[in-house]
A and B are shown apart, each in its own frame.
Chain A
Amino acid sequence: MDAKDILGLPKNALPIQEKKSKPPKETQRKPDGISREVYALTGGLAPLMPSVDVNQLKRKAQSENEKITWQWLPFTNSARKDNLQLYHWVRVVNGVPSTGDYSFAKYNKSVDVIKYTDEEYEKYLVDPAWTKEETDRLFDLCERFDLRFVVIADRFPSSKTVEELKNRFYSVSRAILIARAPSPGDVIVHPLVKEPYNVSQEIERKRALSMVLSHTKQQERRDVEVLAEAKRISEARKAAKAAEEPELPVMADTGHDVTDRAAVAAAAADSISPTPSTQFPSATTANPVSETASVVASLRMLQVYLRSYALEQMVQAASSSAGLRTIKRVEQTLQDLGVNLKPKVPTRAVCAEHLELRKEILTLLSLQKQLQYKEAEGSSYRDGSYAETPGTPPPKRLQRAADLDRTFTPDSLSFGGERVGKRDQKRKGPGRSEAPSSPAQSKRPRKYKASE
């Protein structure tokens, strides 16, 4: 108070006035429909727009026509074989409980497993690898477990693989079907007869699937790259074939086959990464000749064109087998050498030299890669001492690429070991994962031990 005197402010005049005005305002605006606390949640002010459309809300009035009660009533389940009676809450409308079967009874589906007689067994189903008891046991398990072969394989007394069990089951069913059918025509539409179970195919398919699943990121990337290049090459070939003159297709065809096979084989190869690199140099030697020939042919079709455009096309053709990374490295190398990416004076001679230079750089880069792979192989044999790395640019990339490469060889070797082990022994349940995740060499001996 004294301070206010000193400052010369009026005593309590304005603040009190404001306080007085505020509370009346708030209480005045409170609506009747909702409680004070709830209203305060909105911040003390009504919303400008209703957030929920009033029409969307369920109307309570409807339920006022009928009388709904809930009763604790017994019920039976038609899916059960015993007559167990359980109790549950039932919604009763106007004194009438809802009728009908237990709502979940319809989900009790089962598989129709064929039952054969002993005579049928003697006549059609005798198999050297399977005794009658085993077959009977198999069918019994199939019925109990609804053809869930993984479980059946687990419970089966003697050790048989899932594929073998499936094979036996399906061939028996098929034989019975055919035997019981009044005429071959009736049964030929049955899926089992049309497409019988193929054991070897299934085994192969599952193996390939597990392999694809356990691909490391690098392998995936590589595959995608290779496939994209193969696609590009084959498309370029097709375009060139359409525009080409009769002399050239022969060369283009052979080039096409070589690159296709090389590209796809490299893509599908499950073994070590060096194979793509060793296949590429042989593929690229066949490539440039037919590639540039097809570009020349397409340029001829144009009749008139700019030399700079022609150079672009030739450069694209020459680097069609290279991935985006490689092309970037070529451009980086050109810059390092002080050469314009697009010549400022594109005369015939300059363009020719430029093209040759680019091709040589591509060769250089592929040689560098080869060298890295060779070193990686060498280092995995010799445990540590790396051969001298070439000092060509860029050194960082070399090391990184070398690191990636080193991870490939241990992976594939250990993976091979795992696979062999698995075939021999029976797997019990989920067990350990197959995918070799860590590239560290120290894990390799442990994995081999575990699989024995």
Chain B
Amino acid sequence: MPQNQTHGADQPDIAGPTPKSQRTKMVKSSDDNENKILAKKLKDSEICVPIVYGNIAFWLGKKASEYQSHKWTVYVRSSTNEDLGVVIKRAVFQLHSSFNNPMRVVEGPPFELSESGWGEFEIVITLHFHGDVTEKPLHLYHRLKLYPEEESGSLSMKKPVVVESYDEIVLSEPSEGFLARVQNHPAIIMPRLPSSFALPPVPMEDINSGKRGDTKNHPLSQWFTNFSEADELLKLAAARQQVQAHIARLRRQLSLLDGQQQLKSASDM
């Protein structure tokens, strides 16, 4: 598959604009050039951001009233508890209409929302990404769970109800600017880049300055689920082996039958 290389010395007229715009662009050609390079998309590759989203709900016990029986937090975090702010600009949590201001906007990491209530409903989480990532938002759907599965389970104030779902945000054909910005970030799984490929260097931001966006030391982090693909992979591999064995056996039987029928029809004639 053809890969796009960075062209350092390319002229601005790659895309073939009309002469008039070319003339006006000549002035800021160097800036435009850079932007164009950064905006260029890496074809046939994808960036993957593994996330976990869900909710944790605590029963309020003695302090519980009829309308505020649980205190819950719905969130989107990186599966390895890294900082998602590098990809996500803001998250919008659409709550049930009975809440005040049901559309809650969270402007930076950690992307979470805490509330108290009594009912379970579907929350639509809309993720808006930074400009160099993509213009399109992504929707996640999560059903808020407050009550434990087993009906007989006693409500405990200490142990919360935790429901988390693992998924991966896939960004296809990411722009080179974005790639450059996040190339070494732990929250991102980078695509395999061709060896001759060189990303333009971008000044790394000082990590320690400002608020930390990762959830490693989150107060609720003790309840986070650790998702590992190893388990699932093992099961899938075992299943595939079984199925392949069956297939081989059936194929043998079929060819056997074919041979028998051919013999039979030959002897009939």
Chain A residues packing against B (C-beta within 8 Å): 299-300, 302-308, 310, 333-334, 337-340, 343-350, 353-354, 356-357, 360-361, 363-364, 367-368, 370-371, 374-375, 377-378, 381-382, 387-388, 390, 392
Contacts and interface: CB of A to CB of B under 8 A. Distances in A.
A353 B233 contact: yes
Interface residue SS majority, chain A: helix
Contact of A339 (B140, B239, B261, B265): B239
Interface string B106-139: 0000000000000000000000010001111010
Contacts of A367: 247, 250-251, 254
B169 A304 contact: yes
A303 B172 CA distance: 5
B233 A346 contact: no
Nearest to A389: B253
Contacts of B169: 304-307
Interface stretch (B30-38, B198-206, B224-232): B224-232
A392 B268 CA distance: 32
Contact of A374 (B170, B240, B261): B261
Interface in B213-269: 227-229, 231-233, 235-240, 242-244, 246-247, 249-251, 253-254, 257-258, 260-261, 264-265, 268
Contact of B240 (A307, A360, A377, A381): A360
Given A300-B172, A304-B171, A353-B237, A346 B250 contact: no
B251 to A, nearest CB: 7
A375 B235 CA distance: 33
Given A343-B232, A344-B232, A382-B264, A360 B171 contact: no
A308 B254 contact: no
Nearest to A381: B264
Given A337-B239, A367-B254, A381-B264, A348 B168 contact: yes
8 contacts: A306-B140, A337-B238, A337-B239, A338-B239, A344-B227, A353-B236, A361-B243, A382-B264
A186 to B, nearest CB: 64
B39 to A, nearest CB: 13
Contact of A387 (B173, B237, B242, B257): B257
B138 A305 contact: yes
B50 interface: yes
A363 to B, nearest CB: 6
B42 to A, nearest CB: 12
A302 to B, nearest CB: 7
Contacts of B251: 367
Q: What are the nearest 10 A-B pairs in CB distance?
A: A307-B168, A337-B239, A353-B236, A367-B250, A347-B229, A303-B134, A345-B229, A360-B243, A374-B257, A304-B134
B161 interface: no
A306 B249 CA distance: 37
A234 B251 CA distance: 30
B243 A299 contact: no
Contacts of B138: 304-306
B243 A368 contact: no
A430 B199 CA distance: 85
B26 to A, nearest CB: 32
Contacts of B171: 303-304
B13 interface: no
B192 to A, nearest CB: 11
Nearest to A368: B250
A300 B229 contact: no
Nearest to B50: A347
